[in-house]
Amino acid sequence: MFIKRLLLEMSAFFAAVVFSCLLVSCSAGDDYYGFPGAGYFGSWEPDLETDYFSGDKFDTIIDNPFVLTSEENVSTFSLDADSASYSYMRKSINTGFLPDESSVRIEEYLNYFTYDYEDPKGNETVALNSEVSSCPWNDEHYLVRLGIKGKSIEAENVPLNNYVFLIDVSGSMNGSDRLPLLKKCLIKMLDSMNPNDRVSIVTYSGHEELLLESTLVENKNLIKSKINSLTANGATNGARAINMAYREALDNYIEGGNNRIIMGTDGDFNVGITSTDALLELVENYARQEKSVYLTVCGFGYGNLNDAMMEKVSNSGNGTYVYVDSENEMNKVFVEESSRFITVANDCKAQITFNKDLVYMYRLIGYENRVLANEDFENDKTDAAEIGAGQTVTALYEIVPCENCSYDPESKEFAESLFTFDFRYKEKLNEESKLLSCTQNKFSETCSENMRFAQAVAAFGMVLRKSEYKGSCSLNLVTELLGNGFTFDPSGRRCEFSELVSRAFSCN
């Protein structure tokens, strides 16, 4: 009788445990949709026999084609200062896989790195430079490099920050490379901030919450305790939290300061407003307001990463999009390059006018989703990208010369300018834009380190994209272009790139 009763009680106990587990699974919302790293019961370890990045969402990219200058000799595009595509590639390769072709945005590969460009002179907040060299993947073509640098700001001149940390605490943020890494990021950032800066915290899962009202960073321990208390659970309803974050930023707006929302998420909105178009409209409505609040979107995790949505939302919110795949990237974004959160040039647009007598065809490498109509260049209502303090931006064109296009072998100069590089930007969002221009008539047989490195990065991107325009590009060519390294290599990131290229040889 005793044994029978004991067995019955044990059966009831185990049934309760199973039922409780099912309840947790159901209440987790997006925790159990089958993607990697989403569970509650310990960290997920990848099975290297399968492509566990397959649930990530990217927009399809179609390479920019060659354009005949006889039909259109003017090319206009918005700059891109994002870097998410590069660090996503690094995550993929370090795990043994080549990245999804649609994830490869070559402009973000180029602009992940800092280039050795001169600072602006005088009262300008932006400086331009350009260079023309031979094209390493097609001997009959030239390569044009355009360089832009935002003005650096001395520590004593850094404006006060009004940050709203908008944190996704839904179940899909469970896993060591998601919410725990995001928490480390924010705490690391706090330790480098001014005591008079302000921080608010808004969280969201099934519902939104103002976890911490705007608080001076001198109360760092309070802010850290709020961050450390965060746990991942529930579905993802981000739209109402975005509204709350903007209201909090506007309520505590600092005139002349850096007012910015820093959003940490995997982008997996599955409750409330979930369509990208509706989210874009929401963010654009705030971006058009007189008070300028910027938006930085930080992507985390893999397997259900909504890259397509996050890139578009950050663009619409006058901001940038980064992907944080490691503590090293965390340190780069939130400490080493935190000055990039301070915008020095707004709505930055480039317009290149090619000389029809010298250039037969041209192709913009990358920037496919940043191309603008030529008439948008002078239209100050057209939204474009922002550049942070001390930030460099690079763009490449591959050009096909006309048959009679030749340069003086002694002076290395063409008889006329190959192109004019016009650049428009606003020092403040609601002001009129300013125009800068430069021309280029020189050819460099021995290209600069800046050009050689940009060539290698672009070639690598075209190989990964399997671009129809890659010519003789190969991993071997990329290795050859990298050569024996570079004299300019802040934080060793170019060396790291060389190691990634080596690993790519053995990836699936």
What's the pLDDT band for 80 if we cut at 50, 70, 90?
confident
DSSP one-letter code for 317: T
Measured distance CA(196)–CA(192) in Å, rounded: 12
Asked if pLDDT for residue 284 goes beyond 80, the answer is yes
Residue 40 has a pLDDT of 28
More confident residue, 21 or 209: 209
* Kind and range of the H or E run holding 168: strand 161-168
Q: Give pLDDT, residue 30.
A: 39
Q: Return the higher-pLDDT residue of 388 and 123.
A: 388
**Sign (positive or negative) of CA dihedral 323, 328, 331, 333:** negative
* Residues found in the chain: 508
d(CA 258, CA 291): 11
Query: pTM of the entire structure?
Result: 0.88
313-368: pLDDT as tens digits: 898 888 899 999 999 999 999 999 999 999 999 999 999 999 999 999 999 999 99
SS3 225: helix
Q: Is the Cα dihedral 223, 229, 232, 238 positive or negative?
A: negative
Q: Is the pLDDT of residue 23 over 80?
A: no
Collapsed DSSP state (helix, strand, coil) of residue 362? strand
Q: Which of 2-6, 160-164, 238-242, 382-386 is predicted least confidently?
A: 2-6
Give per-residue pLDDT as tens, 142-155.
999 999 999 999 88
Q: How confident is the model at residue 15 (pLDDT cuts 50, 70, 90)?
A: very low
Q: Rounded to 10 degrees, what is the CA torsion of 21, 27, 29, 35?
A: -10
- pLDDT over 90 (residue 86): yes
Predicted local distance difference test score (pLDDT) of residue 270: 55
Element (H, E) at 204: strand 198-204
Show the beta-strand stretches assigned E in 300-457: 320-323, 343-354, 359-365, 385-388, 392-401, 407-408, 413-414, 419-426, 434-440
pLDDT score of 52 more than 80: no
What would the pLDDT profile of 405-428 be if each residue is shown by its tens digit? 888 888 889 989 999 999 999 998
* Residue-level pLDDT at 304: 85
Q: Are 291 and 256 in contact (CB under 8 A)?
A: no
Going by pLDDT thresholds of 50, 70 and 90, the confidence category of residue 269 is low
Residue 397 reports pLDDT greater than 90: yes
Report percent pLDDT > 70 for the chain: 88
**Average pLDDT over all residues of the chain:** 88
Beta bridge partners of 57: 306
- Sequential DSSP letters for 402-420: -TT--EETTTTEESS-SEE
**Which tokens sit at 490?**
């802040």
CA torsion sign for 28, 32, 35, 36 is positive
Tell me which residue has tokens 């990045």: 53
Q: What is the pLDDT of residues 233-242, one digit of tens each?
A: 877 667 889 9
What CA–CA distances, in Å, run from 208 to 204, 245, 260?
4, 10, 19
